[in-house]
Amino acid sequence: MKLLATLHSPAKVNLGLWITGRRNDGYHNLVTVFHRIAFHDTIKIWDGEKFAVKCTDCPDDEGNILFNVKELFENRFNIEINFYIEIFKEIPPGSGLGGASSNAATFIQFLNEHFKLGLDRKELIELGSRVGADVPFFLLEEDACIATGIGDILEPIDSNMNFPLYLYIPDVRISTAWAYNKIDELNLHIPHKEALEKAMRISRALQENDLEALYPLENTFEKVVFAEYPEIREAKENLYILGAKVASLSGSGSSVFGIFERFLTIHGEENLVESRLGGKVG
């Protein structure tokens, strides 16, 4: 088989996340700031006689999001997609870092280039939205954006921040459905206008490269996740002890992250993953 591409598929963190209400269709409206980070999966694509995916820590059958991308592109563009794809996972499923959505976006961009489809950014984002709510973010050129709606309405941010970032990824997978249900039970929603004002503050800090102005980072999911998983709350507290300027849960968890002014000299025994803000798809 001929190796066609070796691609990086970056993770994201949420720099603030607020739930503003439950919709009639069962989804939730939210306001958040997405930011790509350098931590990434690696995807290798070979030509093949049939479509196959190999992944050690994610589904390798129709449960893998790449199969959804394949079906969408075959139906939309009347093409036949036969590749052997290997995903080398660094971003654990259920960690709140957007690994599957990023994998989908990376594959979408590869298909556009490989088949010379000539799709522009707007068309790519429209296709990505059909695969998953978080996929469009990874198709932006910018590293950051404010996301509203169910996370699919994006306002890009010209972020100038690339400080060191450390991740703590516990061996726990948190059910997003469970977390949303707990938020509904406890009525932890806030008004959309209030959430948007908080997100705009973070946007300004990113544009001005003002790390101090990021504090505090708020994530509504912390109120339910930390109560159920005290070890995750303790991990966030430990990041502050180590010198983080800001720290937060990402998404609905289970990962927490801290942003630092400089790289740590010793972090191995803390079970931290070293990264930094910023990271391109491809």
Q: Is the pLDDT of residue 217 over 60?
A: yes
* Spatial distance between the Cα atoms of 261 and 252, rounded to a whole number of angstroms: 25
96 is in an annotated binding site: yes
Give the confidence band of 267 by pLDDT, cuts at 50, 70, 90. low
97 is in an annotated binding site: yes
Q: What is the value of pTM for the model shown?
A: 0.94
Average pLDDT over residues 155-166: 96
The predicted pLDDT at position 11 comes to 98
Q: Which domains does the chain have, with CATH numbers?
A: 3-276 (3.30.230.10)
Comparing C-alpha atoms, which of 165, 170, 166 is closest to residue 230?
170
Give the confidence band of 36 by pLDDT, cuts at 50, 70, 90. very high
Average pLDDT over residues 159-171: 95
- The CA-based dihedral angle spanning residues 243, 244, 249, 253, taken in that order and rounded to the nearest 10 degrees: -70
Q: Percent of the chain at pLDDT above 90?
A: 90
The predicted pLDDT at position 270 comes to 66
Give the confidence band of 152 by pLDDT, cuts at 50, 70, 90. confident
Average pLDDT over residues 236-265: 96
Tokens at residue 276, please?
């930094």
Overall size of the chain counted in residues: 282
Just list the catalytic residues: 12, 134
The predicted pLDDT at position 32 comes to 99
Give the confidence band of 281 by pLDDT, cuts at 50, 70, 90. low
Containing H/E element for 79? none
Q: CB–CB of 127/108 below 8 Å?
A: yes
Bridging pattern class, strands 52-55 and 28-47: unpaired
pLDDT in tens, 254-263: 999 999 999 9
147 is in an annotated binding site: no
All residues at 6 or more sequence positions from 192 whose CB lies less than 8 Å from its CB, including other chains: 20, 21, 29, 31, 148
99 is in an annotated binding site: yes
98 is in an annotated binding site: yes
The predicted pLDDT at position 279 comes to 64
